[in-house]
A and B are shown apart, each in its own frame.
Chain A
Amino acid sequence: DAKTTQPPSMDCAEGRAANLPCNHSTISGNEYVYWYRQIHSQGPQYIIHGLKNNETNEMASLIITEDRKSSTLILPHATLRDTAVYYCIVRVIDYKLSFGAGTTVTVRA
């Protein structure tokens, strides 16, 4: 799996967009960028994934740079319930996930 680098923590104001960066300079051509989040020791929750193109769903947007060496997860209107640890994962679509430390996002009122 390609190694990812995320900031350990970040704060965001409620109602504002939260932009979470992830560096993955060693990504291979068949590896996808996934994002999961984990709210206070609950089960991890899938957010979004992408290969080359930018992606958007009801939870977030994923912006992947043209060289695919970095990406940004965007939570468009952060709420207090978005306070969580966010994990950026780069891997092929297969049967196994592994998470590192992630970014602890704190949304403040």
Chain B
Amino acid sequence: EAQVTQNPRYLITVTGKKLTVTCSQNMNHEYMSWYRQDPGLGLRQIYYSMNVEVTDKGDVPEGYKVSRKEKRNFPLILESPSPNQTSLYFCASSPRVQSYEQYFGPGTRLTVT
């Protein structure tokens, strides 16, 4: 089944404890992206990747890192999480950079205390 998977789905952590949220797609898509969704603020892009080893900042990149060493994987790293990073996170992929359809993962609900 073609899909985008994220792990973990739920995570509660403490301020400053490094964490990684994994994202993987099995559709051989070139483009991958991370978003966060917050009440009243909608969906905002954190980072994106146009291909392996090519990443760039989205609208809200502060406090996050990403890497794209393989085409299928695009992990999101929070080196020192803070409470304002409590959010619902989505990974997405699409066949090309300019594509009308993005395929989203199921989401990761992160709480930082």
| B100:A98 contact, CB within 8 angstroms | no
- How many angstroms between the C-alpha atoms of A41 and B6 in the bound complex? 14
| B42:A100 contact, CB within 8 angstroms | yes
**Chain B residues positioned under 8 Å from A44 (CB to CB):** 43, 90, 102, 104
**Chain A residues positioned under 8 Å from B104 (CB to CB):** 43-45
> From residue B28, how far is it (CB to closest CB) to chain A in Å?
17
**Chain A residues positioned under 8 Å from B90 (CB to CB):** 43-44
> From residue B26, how far is it (CB to closest CB) to chain A in Å?
15
| B107:A98 contact, CB within 8 angstroms | no
| B48:A95 contact, CB within 8 angstroms | yes
> From residue A103, how far is it (CB to closest CB) to chain B in Å?
13
**Chain A residues positioned under 8 Å from B97 (CB to CB):** 94-95
**B35: interface (CB < 8 Å):** yes
**A68: interface (CB < 8 Å):** no
Q: Mark A94-109, 1 if CB is under 8 A from B, else 0.
A: 1111111100000000
Which residue on chain B has the smallest CB distance to residue A43? B104
- How many angstroms between the C-alpha atoms of A45 and B44 in the bound complex? 16
> From residue B44, how far is it (CB to closest CB) to chain A in Å?
6
Given the interface contacts A49-B100, A93-B100, A95-B31, does A41 sit within 8 Å of B45 by beta carbon? no
- How many angstroms between the C-alpha atoms of A46 and B101 in the bound complex? 6
**A34: interface (CB < 8 Å):** yes
**B110: interface (CB < 8 Å):** no
> From residue A31, how far is it (CB to closest CB) to chain B in Å?
12
Interface residues of A in 37-56 (CB under 8 A from B): 41-46, 49
**B105: interface (CB < 8 Å):** yes
> From residue A3, how far is it (CB to closest CB) to chain B in Å?
12
Interface residues of B in 65-95 (CB under 8 A from A): 88, 90, 92
| Residue among B42, B45, B100, B107 making CB contact with A43, cutoff 8 Å | B107
Given contacts A46-B100, A96-B59, A98-B44, 6 further A-B contacts (CB under 8 A): A43-B4, A94-B97, A95-B98, A96-B58, A97-B92, A97-B102
